[in-house]
Amino acid sequence: MYRIASRKALNPTMIQLEIEAPLVARKAKPGQFIILRVDEEGERIPLTVAGTDPAAGTVKIIFQVVGATTEKLKHKQAGESIQDFAGPLGVATHTEGLRNVCVIGGGAGCAIAMPVAEEFHRLGAKVTSIIGFRNKDLLILEEEFRSFSDELIVMTDDGSYGRAGNVTIPLKEKLEAGEKFDMIITIGPLIMMKFVVAAAKPFGVPVTASMNPIMIDGTGMCGGCRITLVQDGKRVTKFACVDGPDFNGYEIDFDEAMSRGRMYAEYERHAYDEACNLFQGA
């Protein structure tokens, strides 16, 4: 069992937990993830490591309440425990030799983008962070991003905070003004990452996209997290849990990834409703 050291609501749908997991805390790097189970009968879900404190032996995770398991996890309080917390898994984000980077996060993806920005800042790179949300009420981690960024740009779809519009607007402005990024790292909804890649392509700037498809075992055996890359005109299958989660954005078949991501939407909605009914009746 893994004890919850602290719990904090970041907005109406996003929760931050610190989990006591000393072995994971010592080894985890930005970009890697863990797989947890809330209880013995629970499903396995992947969550990206949002920060570690090796001295305290804790790992920070941030999740959005979207399904049955995250609904159960939402009701866990500090001092309680969860069943399993396995990791770190996946390949850490590449940071070596990059001196000028743009980190772009969208919605819940900002929880993954934040430790990446922090690591680049620690290494002395120039960090431009662009984060986007539907509205002001869903904003998270603004102060953290500000402390790790040379420049922070906040976007909201409805203009209720920061600038109005999506994250590609300031990205295009930067690129058209001659900004020479060594790398753009984008983490968020698939449709957002697809358009970030499209915006960067005319300028030839490398783009890394963090993929978070359906995962089960986290070791590459189940095949649930497979994605398709197009390399030299050939379609190549990769597994996000062992080959990623970071991939060359120009190679990803985003349309296929979005189609696969919708496969279990109806089942997950049914499971979520059951979990909600369970807690309402408690």
Fold (topology level) of 2-89 = Elongation Factor Tu (Ef-tu); domain 3 (2.40.30)
List C-alpha distances in Å: 25 to 1, 32, 209: 16, 11, 24
pLDDT per residue over 210-225, tens digit each?
A: 998 677 777 777 777 8
3-state secondary structure at position 65 = coil
CA distance linking residue 157 with residue 136, whole number of Å: 9
Quick: pLDDT tens for 69-103: 889 999 999 999 999 999 899 999 998 899 999 99
**b or e along 144-175 (b: 16 or more beta carbons within 10 Å of the residue's beta carbon)?**
bbeebbeebbbbbeeeebbeeebbbbbbeebb
Please state the pTM of the whole predicted model: 0.86
Contact (CB, 8 A) for 73 and 38: yes
Q: Nearest to residue 112, comparing CAs of 152, 65, 60, 68?
A: 60
The full set of domain ranges for the chain reads 2-89, 100-261
The predicted model gives 117-144 an average pLDDT of 95
In CATH terms, 100-261 corresponds, of 3.90.550.10, 3.40.50.80, 1.10.10.60, 1.10.3720.10, to 3.40.50.80
At 280 the pLDDT is 57
Distance CA 230, CA 96 (A): 25
pLDDT of residue 263: 60
Q: Which of 186, 151, 147, 141 is nearest to 168 (CA)?
A: 186
- pLDDT for 237-249, tens place per residue? 998 888 889 999 9
CB atoms under 10 Å from CB of 94, counted, come to 12
